[in-house]
A and B are shown apart, each in its own frame.
Chain A
Amino acid sequence: KNEVEQSPQNLTAQEGEFITINCSYSVGISALHWLQQHPGGGIVSLFMLSSGKKKHGRLIATINIQEKHSSLHITASHPRDSAVYICAVSYGGSQGNLIFGKGTKLSVKP
């Protein structure tokens, strides 16, 4: 069974802290996505990666194919980073045929 597990489920941080969200999956994948869902419900694609590391501003995503694990890091966190972060994987079907994790709800306090 293809599963995507995220941890932690909930995370509270103080402004400025370094944050890590983890994602594990059970079988080989073609790509892994990190998504951000805002309190209003809209979804933004942050990263799509199949190997190595990607960086965009204060966000960094890494993936270890051998260990079937990915991390999303947020440096110098800010209250506007408060959102649900969702990991999703595609297993070789179409690019958007994704298996989603349940999400990590992040709250950054000022």
Chain B
Amino acid sequence: NAGVMQNPRHLVRRRGQEARLRCSPMKGHSHVYWYRQLPEEGLKFMVYLQKENIIDESGMPKERFSAEFPKEGPSILRIQQVVRGDSAAYFCASFQGAGSPLHFGNGTRLTVT
């Protein structure tokens, strides 16, 4: 049973380009969270999605960032027109339902040059 899969593991983008980060939850999990870890800072919640629905996006920056979790395929975190301040590690986690543990992916390390 594969764990949470994130790809790519490392992503380099130039300022102004778009970054797409993918997260495939564990089999049977329909809940996905995205988190961001800025250099030398703690993790911060970004968004919570269930299949085809955004449940809580209170941690998402208001501009340039979007997330989706389609009926088929992985969850996508999309960052448009990246800036140097977007350089960070982005983690996703999935879980089966209330009270079950979170399972984290290995993260995508985004570097904006």
Contacts and interface: CB of A to CB of B under 8 A. Distances in A.
Contacts of A43: 91, 93, 104, 107
A45 B101 contact: yes
A27 B93 CA distance: 25
A35 B109 CA distance: 19
Q: State which size class the interface on B falls in.
A: 20 to 34
Interface in B60-113: 89, 91, 93, 95, 98-99, 101-107, 109
A66 to B, nearest CB: 23
A41 B106 contact: yes
A34 B105 CA distance: 16
Contacts, number: 60
A25 to B, nearest CB: 14
Given A43-B107, A100-B42, A94 B56 contact: yes
A93 B47 CA distance: 12
Interface residues of A, number: 22
A59 B38 CA distance: 28
A95 B44 contact: no
A97 interface: yes
Contacts of A33: 102
B43 A86 contact: yes
Interface of A: 33, 35, 40-45, 48, 86, 88, 93-103
